[in-house]
Structure 1
Amino acid sequence: MQNRNAHGRLSGHALTNFIATISATGGLLFGYDTGIISSALLQLRNQFHLDTLGAEIVTSAIILGALIGCLGAGSISDRIGRRRTVMIAAALFLLGTVVVSSAQSVAVLIIARLILGLAIGAASQIVPIYIAEVSPPERRGRLVVGFQLAVVFGITSSFVTGYLLRDSSWRLMFGIGMLPALILFVGMAFLPNSPRWLALNGQIEEARAVLRRVRLSDEAADRELEEIIENHDVQAPWSELAKPWVRPALTASVGIALLCQFTGINAVMYYAPTIFADAGFGQDSALLTSVAVGVGMVFATVFGGWAVDTWGRRTLLLRMLPGAVVALAVLGTTFAMHLTGGIGAWITVAAVMAYTIFNTGSLSVAIWLVGAEVYPLSCRGKGMSLVAGSHWGADLLISLTTLSLVQMLGAGWTFWLFAGVNAFAFWFVLRYVPETKGQSLEELERRLRNGTFAPVDRAVARSEARAR
């Protein structure tokens, strides 16, 4: 039995790592396709004679597509399975990349970006769920965070690619995305279905077979399957998400999704070159400094992937968010006092880097992980659709209003406003976000049902117990 378990441990970990790696390619495409437009747009403006409105429409089409894609993917994944839904997203990535790379008109560009958005939205909704439902509780955090790591690596790759190909064709910038899309599509064809989706659809022996492939032993797999069956329920309608017992999960996950955007990370990422140029750096230097921001995001996400399973999800958020508040307060001060050039420019760079690390290493790490963990199996797909929809809706709002905020309030007050939102995020996590480290998805569902899910609910339960 000892040798058999040792073999099972090796193959189980190897398979879950392979599943997480192939699935996370969807995150790589997510990051690359959203980030590359910032470099490609410089050439697109000239070739297609885009005015400001045209550039905004071409840029925003991908966000609108993502919003539609994530809301539709939940029902599709519940019906045909997580794996097949990821394959559909991969096919859309391929189609969108081919169309955008060969576009001869603005209309085709917009349609292609919309298709890529559908793929990104579907991937952001379903890939974290698929990884979470296959992973063991003790490794679920770092494996799901691998998706976010792939996203920030894709963003950084787009910054580097845009800089290196700044004198080449924009078609090549977009076309590079075909390779990871093909890897995702072919790789998913060889991966197993989610055991929890199989069990939910009555395919118990198929679920057992998958669990035995990805767990340390057959006994561990069988115990987990019994727990899944014990909590087994039919697919629930959208209205289930509004029921009081599910509401704490909705509050925690959607709250993190909204705050991930409203705390300003994408605003800083989108406009980092502009921020650095205003601080006194030349255009090329500003672009290179933006690459440094992307590298900082990668390292912060790697750290977060370690911390979510070592410190815990909630603890990570509470330890990192105060650093983001301080960094934004400093950034706002440098702009309010017009400290550009010389030492002021380097303080600005340090503040942007610090904010990026503290925010990316906390909220950006937690958004897809917490969303994939907290919902009951019967409405997990639909719940994650709302998480992804909240993320993309807030992203669209932030991308459309950041420059207006800077013009209306000034850069200093804008960054102070973001600092205040980060402080609010700390309070929100303290009150509404539970610790999910090391707990099975079924344990978290039981906490929802017995009313001890959110920290505030558990505090009330303890007070009532002492009173009795």
Structure 2
Amino acid sequence: MTAGFASAPVTHGPELDRLPLHTRRRLVFWTFCAALGGWLFGYDTGVVSGAMLFIRHEFGLGPAMQGAVVSVLLLSAAITAPVAGRLADRIGRRRALLLVAAVFVVGLVVAALAPNVGVLLLARFILGFGVGGASALVPVYLSELAPTRVRGTMVSTNQLMVTLGLLSSYIVDLLLSGTQNWRGMFAFGIVGAVLMLAGMSVAPETPAWLERHGHDERARSVISGYTPPDRIDSVVKGFGSAREESGRTLSVRELFASPAIRPALMIGLTLAALQQFCGINTIMYYAPTIMQKTGLNASNALVYSIIIGAINVLVTLVAMRLTDTVGRRRLLIVSVSLMALATVPMGLAFTTLQGTASSVTALTSTLAYIMAFAVGLGPVFWLLNAEIYPPSARAEAAGLATMVNWLSNFVVSQAFLPLSDAVGQGPAFWVFGVICVIALAYIVARVPETKNRTFQQIDSEIRGMHRPEERVPESA
């Protein structure tokens, strides 16, 4: 099933259709190997939701310590993301992703063998290194490998694999819930980590990174694996033009100071925070707990989590097709609008409704919210975060935005249960609805369209929002 989903990129764009079947399969294989980082991202963030139902009893954990087990991964992911970006600039995207895969193996082994909550916290902290690195680097790797017309589909494969990882974690949680084997829940993820380690060991470095570091012939060799011969020179020339324009790799301080980088960076950082403060991961992490509060037992709560995860996967598949047709900006506007609307009945399910009506409304509104997120804000943020920065700033800036995303995730996950206790779970969801409205206003005002545009055109569009005289014509 996973391989079938990963093959989606081959169905779009003349660049791929003109190639022999074996070269298309090669590109799909490379995409799948890198996107396994997305699967591990989803699995390791989702598996704890079901495992926590049994960990808390075995180790006697209170609410604060439960929150710590969930959130320590988010904190270490936030710490790692900008470091991963800088490391990828120095040693290459491929080598950095190999390190990420190795970290996942170590973290999952330690989690599966944890004898006490202290070791489990250490394991989750280690896994956060992998999750932070994967979330920052996989979209960048895929964006630099992809032909322009299918970039949206290829980069969105990462988000599809994230949702498949979440769904896999819910299914494993359910299958092992009868024996309360939470250690097995963590151990299953080792399979994906080993596959990623093996796959990335034979995958290529991105041609953009190779060209920037003077390896022109190696860059041409990689490009020739999926680009028609008559297009290779123009692709390489585009890398050279981008390198000349963007210059050397910038420090964090220079990223914020540079008038050429700052507009794109502010868009990335703002979207990174808004994606999390809209509340999506409180639902994904605490879905079983939320459903139990409507009167469902643990097994039924896990079944509902699987339904949620399956809907997330299916809608993300739809989003993959739409990013390169409808466009990124339109998907964001529709997505955030529907998310805001879905929080209204979601809040009512925990305030005025009772019994079956409460459970049904909670489930349907949660599904509507997740569908709205999965068709736009979920995949499009990660896509834009790999598209909007110039080459020399791409990994570093993407890492900073990823850090903000994980820090925001940490804050929201830590605050959700105390907020629910203070004002009630229903009003807490309405707070997320208000934030969705704020996000909608920002997207309409500040986020550009990037569909079918080269990196140079995207850079020009963002700069033109601040200095219109610098805008490059669409035909450039």
**TM-score using structure 1 length:** 0.92
**Cα distance between partner residues in 2 of 1:249 and 1:18:** 31
Cα offset, 1:100, TM superposition? 1.6
Instruction: Specify the alignment match of 1:408 in structure 2.
Output: 422
Of residues 261, 267, 271, the one that matches 2:276 is: 261
Counterparts in 2 of 1:174 and 1:384: CA distance versus 1, 3 Å: same
Instruction: Specify the alignment match of 2:438 in structure 1.
Output: 424
Cα offset, 1:412, TM superposition? 2.7
Instruction: Specify the alignment match of 2:159 in structure 1.
Output: 148
Match of 2:349, SS state, is helix
Counterparts in 2 of 1:328 and 1:53: CA distance versus 1, 3 Å: closer
Counterparts in 2 of 1:278 and 1:99: CA distance versus 1, 3 Å: closer
Give matches, 1:67-466, under 5 Å.
67-168=78-179, 169-215=181-227, 217-232=228-243, 233-242=247-256, 243-336=258-351, 338-448=352-462, 451-452=463-464, 454=465, 457=466
Instruction: Specify the alignment match of 1:24 in structure 2.
Output: 35
- C-alpha contact (below 8 Å) 2:49/2:287 kept by paired residues: no
- C-alpha contact (below 8 Å) 2:319/2:375 kept by paired residues: yes
Instruction: Specify the alignment match of 1:466 in structure 2.
Output: none
Once structures 1 and 2 are overlaid, which stretch shifts more, 234-243 or 423-432?
Answer: 234-243
- C-alpha contact (below 8 Å) 1:200/1:235 kept by paired residues: no
Counterpart AA for 1:302:
L
Counterparts in 2 of 1:49 and 1:285: CA distance versus 1, 3 Å: closer
Match of 1:335, SS state, is coil
Cα offset, 1:377, TM superposition? 0.6
Task: Give 5+ residue unaligned stretches, structure 2.
Answer: 1-14, 471-476
Query: 4+ runs of 1 displaced by more than 6 Å?
Result: 4-7
Counterparts in 2 of 1:257 and 1:342: CA distance versus 1, 3 Å: same
Cα offset, 1:341, TM superposition? 1.8
**Cα distance between partner residues in 2 of 1:307 and 1:70:** 28
**Cα distance between partner residues in 2 of 1:109 and 1:179:** 19
Counterpart AA for 2:123:
A
**Cα distance between partner residues in 2 of 1:5 and 1:312:** 20
Counterpart AA for 1:208:
R
Calculate the aligned-residue CA RMSD, in Å: 2.1
Cα offset, 1:327, TM superposition? 1.0
**Cα distance between partner residues in 1 of 2:17 and 2:344:** 52
Deviation by residue 1:168-227 (Cα, 9 ceiling, x = unmatched)? 322211111111111101111111111010111111121111111121x12212101101
Once structures 1 and 2 are overlaid, which stretch shifts more, 298-307 or 128-137?
Answer: 298-307
Counterpart AA for 1:162:
D
Cα offset, 1:310, TM superposition? 1.1
Counterpart AA for 1:101:
A
Of residues 15, 28, 37, the one that matches 2:48 is: 37
Once structures 1 and 2 are overlaid, which stretch shifts more, 369-378 or 100-109?
Answer: 100-109
Cα offset, 1:258, TM superposition? 0.9
Cα offset, 1:11, TM superposition? 4.2
- C-alpha contact (below 8 Å) 1:22/1:184 kept by paired residues: yes
**Cα distance between partner residues in 2 of 1:214 and 1:238:** 34
- C-alpha contact (below 8 Å) 1:11/1:214 kept by paired residues: no
Cα offset, 1:421, TM superposition? 0.9
- C-alpha contact (below 8 Å) 1:137/1:439 kept by paired residues: yes
Total equivalences in the alignment:
452
Counterparts in 2 of 1:287 and 1:6: CA distance versus 1, 3 Å: closer
Counterpart AA for 1:231:
A
Instruction: Specify the alignment match of 2:4 in structure 1.
Output: none
- C-alpha contact (below 8 Å) 2:167/2:309 kept by paired residues: yes
**Cα distance between partner residues in 1 of 2:53 and 2:299:** 13
**Cα distance between partner residues in 1 of 2:275 and 2:409:** 9
- C-alpha contact (below 8 Å) 2:288/2:301 kept by paired residues: yes
Cα offset, 1:79, TM superposition? 0.4
- C-alpha contact (below 8 Å) 2:49/2:286 kept by paired residues: no
Match of 1:36, SS state, is helix
Counterpart AA for 2:431:
L
Cα offset, 1:156, TM superposition? 1.2
Counterpart AA for 2:339:
A
Cα offset, 1:325, TM superposition? 1.4
Give matches, 1:9-20, under 5 Å.
9-20=20-31
- C-alpha contact (below 8 Å) 1:238/1:379 kept by paired residues: no
Match of 2:224, SS state, is helix
Once structures 1 and 2 are overlaid, which stretch shifts more, 138-147 or 59-68?
Answer: 59-68
**Cα distance between partner residues in 1 of 2:356 and 2:119:** 45
Cα offset, 1:239, TM superposition? 2.5
Counterpart AA for 1:182:
V
Counterpart AA for 1:194:
T
- C-alpha contact (below 8 Å) 2:46/2:284 kept by paired residues: no
Task: Give 5+ residue unaligned stretches, structure 1.
Answer: 463-468
- C-alpha contact (below 8 Å) 1:300/1:357 kept by paired residues: yes
Instruction: Specify the alignment match of 1:465 in structure 2.
Output: none
- C-alpha contact (below 8 Å) 1:280/1:340 kept by paired residues: no
Aligned residues with identical type, % of pairs: 34
Counterparts in 2 of 1:265 and 1:149: CA distance versus 1, 3 Å: same
**Cα distance between partner residues in 2 of 1:62 and 1:5:** 38
- C-alpha contact (below 8 Å) 2:16/2:226 kept by paired residues: no
Match of 2:324, SS state, is helix
Cα offset, 1:42, TM superposition? 3.0
